[in-house]
Structure 1
Amino acid sequence: MPSETKTTCPYCGVGCGVIAAVDEKGKVSVRGDPDHPANYGRLCSKGSALAETLDIEGRVLYPEIHGQRAGWDEALDLVVSTFQRTIADHGPDSVAFYVSGQLLTEDYYVANKLMKGFIGSANIDTNSRLCMASSVAGHRRAFGADTVPACYEDLELSDLVVLVGSNMAWCHPVLYQRLAAAKAARPAMKVVVIDPRRTATSDIADLHLAVRPDGDIALFNGLLAYLAETGAIDENYVGKHTSGFGEALLAASRGSMADLSDATGVSGMLLRQFFRLFAQTEKVVTCYSQGVNQSFVGTAKVNAILNCHLATGRIGQPGMGPLSLTGQPNAMGGREVGGLANMLAAHMAIENPVHRERVQRFWKSPVIAERAGLKAVDMFEAVADGRIKAIWIMSTNPVVSMPDAAAVKAALEACPFVVVSDIQKDTDTARLAHVLLPASGWGEKSGTVTNSERRISRQRPFLSVPGEARADWWQLAEIGKRLGFDPGFDYRGPADIYAEHAALSAFENKGERDFDIGAHAEINAEDYDALLPFQWPLRQDGSSTARFFADGGFFTADRKARFVPVTAPALEEADGCYPFTLNTGRIRDHWHTMTRTGKSARLSGHIAEPYCEIHPADADEAGIGDADLVNVEGANGRSIIVRALLTERQSRGSIFVPMHWTGETAPSAGVDTLVSSRVDPISGQPALKMARASVTRHVAKAHGFLVSATRPLDLPFAYWSIAKAEGGYRVEFAGDPPAEGWETWLRRSLQLEDHHESSGYMDQRAGDHRLLAFEGGKLMAGLFVSSNPVSVSRQWAVDQLWQSHPDRSARSMLIAGRPAAGRPDKGAIVCSCFSVGINQINAAARGGCRSVEAIGVALSAGTNCGSCRPEIRRILDATQSIAAE
């Protein structure tokens, strides 16, 4: 019988429970945990494919110094001596940690303790700064603490769910499934989506408000004014539990509906419809995510939303409240331990001298940071100008993910000392490390994570650690001990760290702080291993609560919430040279910089290369056709090359480019190189959703598509994108033809030998080249080149890699790049879970399937994670529309 381990998914902030099974041959399979209250057995496409990402290809297996293998003692001693010398010469603020929401809480805790309590600097920040810092700042301004007042169950109990800047269907798919199921069971429930794009999430919306980029403040200020005008304010709640309502209402004065329509880009009719719906519905949940947070006015957006919930008293009760959806699996855990540069552990404030003294006394530390450290963008600017001379980067890839990413790369290249601890060796950031430390990964490490509803769950190991990899907390504790701080870092395992973290949360906490898990202050290793998912707070007396603030009890000095007056920013005029608003974000089946999801061929089946969504009318004006390559240039003069995707779901004047592709997967497509380092002045969160850009057609002499059993050694083209495929790799490319000729390049790049049979044809005048290489009956490579974007049935060509082709006469069919008449061709993948393509769905529709459910019965598509259901619905609508003509 396979051994089974209950653990937690390492992707988004939903925090789904996973059961990992390892059979007697060591093969891993995963399924959703039906007992976990975040997902009740559901998983998204990424979670379902976790077992496909666990190989050790590309792993860091031992410490390296300047690219050469080293022992742990040598590597750690170099880190210690360099940090000691740097601090002695330039002070504690000359060093920094840049950490990650991928870390477990125990890792985060030790990093924060070491930097703030023993090194004495607050220069520790996290990539969570890029996804939820504005929520933290908004919560602290309104509630007095970084408290998420609602929980997932409220989505199902609500009568109106408002989704703001959240493509829940792709970015938090399991919550989307829960919401869609609730709406299907209770059709009277309403869903409003507020987003410049008509995303997949909009498919279940009763109302979609295509708000202008950064038009959210005007929208929610207008709502607040409407609530006051129509008598929808809960005067009892406002009077008893809040302060500052009058000032906030004055700031929200919306003028005429025409003015509000101009400010938001939404028609007066739709605005009135939304305002009435919100005012007349008691049970309202407002979910918001990166479209709110990733803005130079992100904190103000958060407070504009919170103001409306405070004004109506719709907070802390079943089916009511604001709910921030975090992007990373442990962004919340990082917030709990003070992983941000402007916070202390256990939700205490670094600017509060009482809190600083309390934490220092608890830690028995020699010093305590006395002021906030540098936030992420400022931190890398300090690396660039030499204020920070040594930096340790843990489990993140800032050379790709930070705004103005090329400047971040240049800063790290010039930094005297860069330490990187990660699981993958060849990330864009790891390649710049002077010291590279091998970290344990998901399935190997042990600790806890906290999801968006404040639920703490265990991540448990079920695999042995490869090579000499070690847990992040162990690496940090070893540095602490080698710096001479032995008692403070003498941990036997993660259970010790968790118990200390829990004890600090309860230390001198008489209800004045929201975060309290004091019930676990004396937890032992056995109980820690058996820990079940639970929501905080869980106090020493065992008391807990699922929601906050129904009866006030905020964490301000007078225990009242603060209304925060906010004003909408002036509309920014389109730049003549850079007329488009560039929006960045995630796609359905990939995660961050693809160091994990890029290992799964299945997850690359849906979208295999970087793209730019653009409205067809905008594309027509620019002379851009569907599937053309385009140059996207930012206002900083840097440009990228990606594929054009024409869609009316994109607003005119705006474009969308995903952020996943790297130097390893598509070096011309790093979209964050175009984004400026402009940040919200309160939260320090960069405006990754609002950059200026131009789009022009990219002209190349040759365009190509390659399927190969091995990864090419050399891709000498202006544009290329590579992805794992079943049986090998798939590559899109464009640029100048290789001087050596196509066949010579192919053989050299794939290291094909003389015994590899080849066939093909060449039309020099048309620029068409088709080359195939076989070893026995196995297709080793298929190269398709044209002077224009190549017309090839790509998924069919990919599928040929793992099929047998013993008949030499039949191989010529492959040269065409598509199957012969009557042969199956599934087409582009729509359902990643079951590898169902668009041609199969169209065929089923023509055969009588008229609903998503019917497609599920016929093909299984949409029956596992459900993320593809909106796309299936659009395909059916298009099929039925054509049939009606």
Structure 2
Amino acid sequence: MTVVATTCPYCGVGCGVMATPDGMGGAKIEGDRHHPANRGRLCSKGAALGETLSLEDRLLYPEIDGQRVSWDAALDHVAAGLRTVIAQHGPDAVAFYVSGQLLTEDYYAANKLIKGFLGTANIDTNSRLCMASSVAGHKRAFGSDTVPGLYEDFEQADLVVLVGSNLAWCHPVLFQRLDAAKRARPRMKVVVIDPRRTETCDIADLHLALRPGSDVALFNGLLTELHQRGATAADFVAEHTAGLDAALAMASAGDAGTCGLSAADLALFFDWFAKTERTVTLYSQGVNQSTAGVDKVNAIINCHLLTGRIGRPGMGPFSITGQPNAMGGREVGALSNALAAHMDFAPADLDRVGRFWGTSRLASKPGLKAVDLFDAVGRGEIKALWIMATNPVASMPNADAVRAALAACDLSIVSEAVRASDTVDACRVRLPALAWAEKEGTVTNSERCISRQRPFLPAPGEARPDWWIIAEVARRLGYGDAFAWTGPADIFREHAALSAFENEGTRDFDIGAYATLDDAGYGCLAPFVWPAPTKAAATGGRFFGGGDFFHVDRRARFVGTPVRPPEHAPDPEHPLRLNTGRVRDQWHTMTRTGKSVRLAGHRPEPTVDLHPLDAAARNLRTGDIAELRSRWGRAVFKVHVSDAVRPGDIFAPMHWTAQLSRSSKVNAAVNPAVDRLSGQPELKHTPVQVLKLPVCWHGTILARRPIMVPEVSYGARVRVAGCHAYVMAGEQSLEQAKRLLSVAVRATNPGPWVDGAKGIGAVIADGVVDAVLALSEDHDEAARDRLSPFLSMGRLTADQRAALLEGGGADDRGGEICACFGVSRAAIEAAIGAGALSLAEIGAETHAGTNCGSCRPEIRALLRGVKSRKAA
């Protein structure tokens, strides 16, 4: 079979993937050893991509109001609707909401249509939820949205500071590169700055569990300390920067002691930073997702400007993006306050882009940012909304208000590969788009590396490329000449030409060297890092090592960063702080990763982490069911008691949606406050109360055919091999629950119902198990492992039937640790018990930790536990 080199569709690392189609709709997936981002490595999610390619839940045909229609009918309907809304209400009554899941060519087409020809800048991207604060901070400091460094800087640094980044789970391949570098050079120091003790702390020499939201105070304190010590690059500051005195005055007015850290830890961090020339500060969502996100970014950058540690090997501030093409969206101007090719709404830029596109209808002012955009939909000011490749009904803060806004919108359109999502369900017009394995185009990763995404499976049903859908609507609106592309290579050439148009080094983004690339060259395009201007070698590198910033005077700006409390503080009714984020093996709203059985084993259910003190105060234990209440909404989770969070803080994952758990949509409770400059939502700090729900039963259902889960206090759908699995809990009596759930099971799995012992009931037809229900008063996490083997059997023997009705076998896997090889905690503990006392020995015995490496921190934690017990 042909092997196709493409790019992973998950995080901003941008790993190269080698896909070998199997001829049956699937593919073998391996890491690309020649791709500079990953050098053959893949994380658990990337390694499982071959298990996510099925056509189940795919949107394959256009629909209007739930009825299948032709493409012509759907496109005519969209074009007519947009034309009518603009004629009656003006262009600002139209909005697009797009995604870092789009390819750059798709992104470019959408931005060109709405800003260039519909005449409004009401287009925003879900990257607003993850990277907007970095964009604003870069522009304030550098005069451009520029990430100065490269991934190799992490490996060359002597000090790596990770701020608000659980790199081990959210960007695992970069974590593996950093881990390998530290093992090769043990003198390298790693500092993790995060209120939670995450798996990333496994390689940290110092963990600063600062008070949530106190990052500005910490880095203001660092700036002051560096200046007082004289740990400054005086010549660099004098020649290439401005604004230091004002920034220092503001910084010195604060107190790093408010961060809640010990004086010794603060002193050690300040000392390491002051004395270590090769220092990289990598930051992510814990910095960006804040009402003070831009100030946090600039507080970090200030410290690097003062020491001149920027743009040279092994040093610099580094923003790690969340999505595979968040950077590509920034390049084409998909944020509402930007124009294409890193231009803005300045008069000269407006004139330049208008002339390049040949349009007189170019939007003249910034549009609405994401939270404001959906608020405007809710108020009826936006009459037509087109959503592409994202799920805002689940991912936006105050998510239930977003659903209500979409329901009331006159014309709601979604371009999507997935048929079943919270957002697709809420939109009237549904346009089937290609998925990852079928798309062709480019993406840009966090180090500015542009890579090709190539299709290796045919387009299913009537699914079409996003750029084609946009161009067809543009043609129907009368703009066909400006959108007369025959393929993504045409769009890439136009995108590259615009980047170089009247540039002459005044803008950072320039890939003009590729503006004349022919189709064959585009087909075999190798990864490259920008800039790649026409008049220079088509290679990229670092920025700002010798100054030359992009403000008019070519100087960087120190930015004063005041210490401000979060907009919504805890109060007596909502005393805890909710932090949201990712878990290791899942991605966004799980429309892709949710298809993989092995990715479901590590964190199969939506859980909330509470500190033991907060749990005890609420009479909560691990496995109990609790409700999170905020001023904006509620969500229900299974409790996990953990001292990895600080007292007063809780953590809940953002992946579960109404498709997987009607009760556990955490963003329904998240506050909609945003950073005043970036518009990025505060997703890390919502005041909540956590209350124990008085559930009387816990249940597990395994069934050959899906069931319609009835309304209960808590419920989630879990992926299990060979059957559909559901976990739930409720406040009815056990008898009531048995009646309710057995009816639901038998509605789609008809057959003789058999009662067993210990709350077991099953549908057994001709000796074959079609479904099984396990009910108990207490949480029984092992029920799935004990019962699922019976659904993979044929006709049961008498002994097997008896074992089933007694509650299943004795298999208690103890929770999955290694997703790549399906290795459980119990198996690893057994290997340790048999004498395997190192990562290498456990890998030899169980294979755990020998592939992607994402599970190594948890294996090391088990090993440390054994060694500490032996020492005691």
Tell me the TM-score normalised to structure 2 length. 0.97
1:631-670 aligned within 5 A:
631-636=627-632, 638-670=633-665
- The worse-fitting range, judged by mean Cα deviation, of 48-57 and 804-813 is 804-813
Please state if 1:463 is matched with 2:457. Answer: yes
CA contact (8 A) 1:123 1:374 kept: yes
Structure 2 CA distance, aligned partners of 1:776 and 1:303? 68
Q: Could you tell me how far 1:880 is from its partner in structure 2? A: 3.4
Q: Could you tell me how far 1:817 is from its partner in structure 2? A: 3.7
Tell me, what secondary structure is at the counterpart of 1:443? helix
Q: Could you list the per-position Cα deviations for residues 359-389 of structure 1 after superposition, in whole angstroms to 9, with x for gaps in the alignment? A: 0000001311111000000000100111100
Tell me, what secondary structure is at the counterpart of 1:348? coil
1:28-47 aligned within 5 A:
28-47=27-46
CA contact (8 A) 1:747 1:753 kept: no
Please state if 1:358 is matched with 2:352. Answer: yes
Alignment-mate amino acid for residue 472 of structure 1: D
Structure 2 CA distance, aligned partners of 1:619 and 1:559? 54
Structure 2 CA distance, aligned partners of 1:366 and 1:587? 47
Please state if 1:857 is matched with 2:844. Answer: yes
Matched with 2:469 is 475
Please state if 1:537 is matched with 2:536. Answer: no
CA contact (8 A) 2:130 2:322 kept: yes
Alignment-mate amino acid for residue 372 of structure 1: P
Structure 1 CA distance, aligned partners of 2:609 and 2:737? 34
Matched with 2:210 is 211
Counterpart of 2:787 (choices 774, 790, 797) is 797
Q: Could you tell me how far 1:400 is from its partner in structure 2? A: 0.5
The total of aligned residue pairs comes to: 869
Matched with 1:834 is 821
Q: Could you list the per-position Cα deviations for residues 685-724 of structure 1 after superposition, in whole angstroms to 9, with x for gaps in the alignment? A: 0000011001111112321112222221233322110021
- The worse-fitting range, judged by mean Cα deviation, of 788-797 and 588-597 is 788-797
Q: Where does the alignment leave 5 or more consecutive residues of structure 2 unmatched?
A: none
Matched with 1:765 is none
Please state if 1:452 is matched with 2:446. Answer: yes
Alignment-mate amino acid for residue 686 of structure 1: P
Structure 1 CA distance, aligned partners of 2:768 and 2:240? 72
Q: Could you tell me how far 1:825 is from its partner in structure 2? A: 4.3
Q: Could you list the per-position Cα deviations for residues 118-143 of structure 1 after superposition, in whole angstroms to 9, with x for gaps in the alignment? A: 01100000000000000000000000
1:500-649 aligned within 5 A:
500-543=494-537, 544-570=539-565, 574-636=570-632, 638-649=633-644
Alignment-mate amino acid for residue 418 of structure 1: S
Matched with 2:270 is 275
CA contact (8 A) 1:148 1:453 kept: yes
Please state if 1:814 is matched with 2:804. Answer: yes
Q: Could you tell me how far 1:53 is from its partner in structure 2? A: 0.5
Residues 1:483 and 1:615: Cα distance change in structure 2 (over 3 Å): same
Alignment-mate amino acid for residue 177 of structure 2: R
Tell me, what secondary structure is at the counterpart of 1:583? strand
Alignment-mate amino acid for residue 580 of structure 1: L
Matched with 1:182 is 181
Tell me, what secondary structure is at the counterpart of 1:345? coil
CA contact (8 A) 2:707 2:748 kept: no
Counterpart of 1:874 (choices 861, 865, 869) is 861
CA RMSD of aligned residues (A): 1.6
Matched with 2:190 is 191
Alignment-mate amino acid for residue 28 of structure 1: A
CA contact (8 A) 2:700 2:783 kept: no
Residues 1:841 and 1:557: Cα distance change in structure 2 (over 3 Å): same
1:641-790 aligned within 5 A:
641-735=636-730, 736=732, 742=738, 745-746=741-742, 748-751=744-747, 756=751, 758-761=753-756, 769-775=759-765, 778-790=768-780
Structure 2 CA distance, aligned partners of 1:238 and 1:5? 48
Alignment-mate amino acid for residue 260 of structure 1: A
Residues 1:18 and 1:802: Cα distance change in structure 2 (over 3 Å): same
CA contact (8 A) 1:443 1:463 kept: yes
CA contact (8 A) 1:495 1:528 kept: yes
CA contact (8 A) 2:191 2:206 kept: yes
Matched with 1:846 is 833
Alignment-mate amino acid for residue 536 of structure 1: W
Matched with 1:432 is 426
CA contact (8 A) 1:515 1:536 kept: yes
Matched with 2:136 is 137
Alignment-mate amino acid for residue 287 of structure 2: V
CA contact (8 A) 1:794 1:827 kept: no
Residues 1:692 and 1:741: Cα distance change in structure 2 (over 3 Å): closer
Structure 1 CA distance, aligned partners of 2:329 and 2:478? 25
Matched with 2:249 is 250
CA contact (8 A) 2:221 2:251 kept: yes
Structure 2 CA distance, aligned partners of 1:294 and 1:136? 12
Structure 1 CA distance, aligned partners of 2:220 and 2:389? 39
CA contact (8 A) 1:795 1:829 kept: no
Residues 1:750 and 1:438: Cα distance change in structure 2 (over 3 Å): farther
Matched with 2:302 is 307
CA contact (8 A) 2:107 2:329 kept: yes
Structure 1 CA distance, aligned partners of 2:795 and 2:47? 31
Structure 2 CA distance, aligned partners of 1:732 and 1:741? 13
Q: Could you tell me how far 1:298 is from its partner in structure 2? A: 0.1
Residues 1:794 and 1:292: Cα distance change in structure 2 (over 3 Å): same
Structure 2 CA distance, aligned partners of 1:661 and 1:267? 36
Structure 2 CA distance, aligned partners of 1:612 and 1:318? 40
Please state if 1:162 is matched with 2:161. Answer: yes
Q: Could you list the per-position Cα deviations for residues 241-273 of structure 1 after superposition, in whole angstroms to 9, with x for gaps in the alignment? A: 100111111111056xxx422x21111110000
Alignment-mate amino acid for residue 511 of structure 1: G
Structure 1 CA distance, aligned partners of 2:7 and 2:536? 24
Residues 1:21 and 1:157: Cα distance change in structure 2 (over 3 Å): same
CA contact (8 A) 2:607 2:640 kept: yes
Matched with 2:387 is 393
Residues 1:751 and 1:455: Cα distance change in structure 2 (over 3 Å): same
Q: Could you tell me how far 1:157 is from its partner in structure 2? A: 0.3
Structure 2 CA distance, aligned partners of 1:58 and 1:229? 60
Structure 1 CA distance, aligned partners of 2:91 and 2:749? 57
Q: Could you list the per-position Cα deviations for residues 568-607 of structure 1 after superposition, in whole angstroms to 9, with x for gaps in the alignment? A: 1147763111110100011100001011111111111111
Counterpart of 1:415 (choices 391, 409, 413) is 409
CA contact (8 A) 2:341 2:499 kept: yes
Matched with 2:436 is 442
Structure 2 CA distance, aligned partners of 1:25 and 1:64? 27
Q: Could you tell me how far 1:747 is from its partner in structure 2? A: 5.7
Q: Could you list the per-position Cα deviations for residues 21-72 of structure 1 after superposition, in whole angstroms to 9, with x for gaps in the alignment? A: 0134444110100000000000000000101001111111110010000001
Q: Could you tell me how far 1:432 is from its partner in structure 2? A: 1.4
Q: Could you tell me how far 1:805 is from its partner in structure 2? A: 6.1
Tell me, what secondary structure is at the counterpart of 2:341? helix
Tell me the TM-score normalised to structure 1 length. 0.96
CA contact (8 A) 1:770 1:785 kept: yes
Residues 1:248 and 1:705: Cα distance change in structure 2 (over 3 Å): same
Question: % of aligned pairs identical?
Answer: 52
Residues 1:529 and 1:813: Cα distance change in structure 2 (over 3 Å): same
Q: Where does the alignment leave 5 or more consecutive residues of structure 1 unmatched?
A: 763-767
- The worse-fitting range, judged by mean Cα deviation, of 798-807 and 300-309 is 798-807
Q: Could you tell me how far 1:818 is from its partner in structure 2? A: 5.1
Alignment-mate amino acid for residue 629 of structure 1: I
Matched with 2:6 is 7
Structure 2 CA distance, aligned partners of 1:738 and 1:126? 46
Q: Could you tell me how far 1:635 is from its partner in structure 2? A: 2.6
Q: Could you tell me how far 1:802 is from its partner in structure 2? A: 2.6
